[in-house]
């Protein structure tokens, strides 16, 4: 009997420990589930006002870059479409000429058929005289050679034109697809802008006040830097005038300074005057656009994007510059910020996605962004990439 008792004891232990393990597992599962639910229920941290401002600023920069991509694709598409139209017109003309050649050949073929296509020997004996036979044969040979050459030439031209047309159409289709992609990209950016604006609209009155204060500080800092630049430029101008006056006195021009200066620097003065006249026209045009809305892809006269405004302003001065900021930055002479003059173009951001027209005293006229109008603003409101002077 002891052996039986010894056998039953471990079986009892197994029955006693089973429920304890089950309860422990269930408890752990419950804790894990509650922990997961708590994590899912926890709200996402609300972005700070500074983060909201940075997000909106970056989205506007993305809009500017996407706008330049759209402008570039649109311009390329327009040029390509013109090329295709020219090629199609050329193909039509070549085809018509080829048809004329074919009709001429058909006339000869019909004449030969009606003549019975006599053998050369029979034609010789039936001719009025031997000389007439040789003249007619020679003439027909020459005409046949010219016609064959013409047909061959036209067929070659038609093949080339068809190839060019196919290439042009394929290129146009590619550009159209690219433009559609860019439009989609633009829409995506606008969606992000809508999200950012929605975020701004959900701010409390206190948060909106804080955001407005951040914006005022940013503008104030930009205006402070503009004032510093204006002061430095004024000092440099005064110093240049002083040195010019001293140089004139040393040259002994006296009261004839104006005449002597005009004679000695005729070429330079003429060039400076021409540049100054152009700059005045640029600025007059830009001032006339103040208050007009920014619209991406617009070139006036009712609305503009940034590069559309600069292109139109310089066109008013008789100077054609490219459509996009990426091309405009390569036109004219590079200018240091300290040497900026009215009419110069100032570009912003590392991706050169924005441009404005310098008006003097560290300020510019530009079409800022969607939802804003053409206005004056400090050039230091955005990070400067570089500046150029068209002409």
Task: Please state whether beta strands 384-389 and 354-360 pair in parallel, antiparallel, or not at all (unpaired).
Answer: unpaired
| Whole-number Å distance between alpha carbons of 203 and 209 | 9
Q: 354 and 366 in contact (C-beta within 8 Å)?
A: yes
Task: Please state whether beta strands 363-366 and 384-389 pair in parallel, antiparallel, or not at all (unpaired).
Answer: unpaired
| Whole-number Å distance between alpha carbons of 165 and 93 | 13
| Whole-number Å distance between alpha carbons of 89 and 56 | 49
Mutual orientation of helices 266-288 and 257-264 as an angle, nearest 10°?
90
> Which of these is catalytic: 323, 354, 359, 389?
354
Asked if 138 is an active-site residue, the reply is no
> Which of these is catalytic: 366, 377, 378, 379?
366
Provide the 3-class DSSP secondary structure of residue 350.
coil
Q: 338 and 233 in contact (C-beta within 8 Å)?
A: yes
Q: 257 and 248 in contact (C-beta within 8 Å)?
A: yes
Determine whether 321 is exposed, middle or buried from the number of CB atoms within 10 Å of its CB (0-12, 13-18, 19+): buried
> Which of these is catalytic: 66, 222, 306, 317?
306
| Whole-number Å distance between alpha carbons of 163 and 169 | 10
Q: 76 and 69 in contact (C-beta within 8 Å)?
A: no
Cβ-proximal residues to 377 (8 Å cutoff; 6+ apart), any chain: 222, 356, 363, 364, 366, 368
Instruction: Show the tokens assigned to 117.
Output: 């296509």
Q: How far apart are the first and last CA of the chain?
A: 118
How far apart, in Å, are the Cα atoms of 149 and each of 96, 102, 145? 16, 12, 6
Determine whether 130 is exposed, middle or buried from the number of CB atoms within 10 Å of its CB (0-12, 13-18, 19+): exposed
Asked if 339 is an active-site residue, the reply is no
User: Which residues are identified as catalytic?
Assistant: 306, 354, 366
């Amino acid at each position: 009997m002891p052996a039986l008792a010894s056998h039953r004891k471990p079986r009892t232990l197994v029955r006693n420990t089973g429920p304890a393990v089950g309860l422990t597992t269930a408890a752990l599962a419950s804790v894990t589930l509650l922990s997961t639910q708590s994590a899912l229920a926890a709200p996402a941290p609300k972005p700070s006002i500074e983060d909201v401002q940075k997000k909106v600023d970056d989205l506007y920069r993305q809009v500017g870059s996407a706008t330049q991509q759209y402008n570039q694709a649109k311009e390329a598409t327009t040029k390509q479409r013109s090329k295709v139209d020219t090629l199609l017109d050329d193909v039509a003309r070549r085809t018509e000429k080829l048809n004329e050649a074919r009709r001429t050949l058909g006339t000869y073929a019909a004449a030969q058929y009606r003549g019975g296509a006599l053998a050369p020997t029979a034609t010789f004996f039936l001719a009025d005289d031997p000389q007439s036979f040789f003249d007619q044969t020679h003439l027909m040979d020459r005409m046949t050679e010219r016609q064959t050459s013409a047909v061959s030439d036209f067929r070659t031209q038609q093949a080339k034109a068809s190839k060019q047309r196919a290439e042009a159409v394929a290129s146009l289709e590619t550009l159209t697809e690219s433009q559609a992609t860019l439009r989609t990209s633009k829409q995506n950016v606008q969606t992000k802008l809508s999200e950012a604006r929605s975020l701004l609209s959900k701010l409390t009155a206190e948060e909106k006040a804080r955001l407005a204060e951040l914006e005022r500080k940013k503008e104030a800092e930009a205006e402070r830097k503009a004032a510093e630049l204006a002061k430095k430029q004024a000092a440099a101008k005064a110093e240049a005038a002083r040195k010019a006056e001293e140089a004139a006195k040393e040259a002994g021009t006296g009261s004839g300074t104006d005449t002597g200066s005009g004679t000695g620097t005729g070429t330079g003065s003429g060039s400076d005057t021409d540049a100054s006249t152009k700059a005045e026209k640029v600025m007059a045009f830009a001032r006339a656009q103040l208050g007009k809305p920014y619209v991406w892809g617009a070139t006036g006269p009712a609305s503009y994007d940034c590069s559309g405004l600069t292109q139109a302003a310089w066109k008013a001065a008789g100077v054609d510059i490219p459509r996009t900021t990426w091309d405009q930055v390569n036109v004219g002479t590079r200018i240091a910020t300290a040497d900026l003059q009215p009419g110069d173009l100032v570009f912003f951001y590392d991706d050169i996605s924005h441009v404005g027209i310098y008006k003097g005293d560290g300020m510019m006229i530009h079409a800022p962004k969607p939802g804003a109008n053409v206005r004056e603003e400090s050039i230091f409101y955005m990070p400067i990439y570089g500046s150029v002077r068209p002409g």
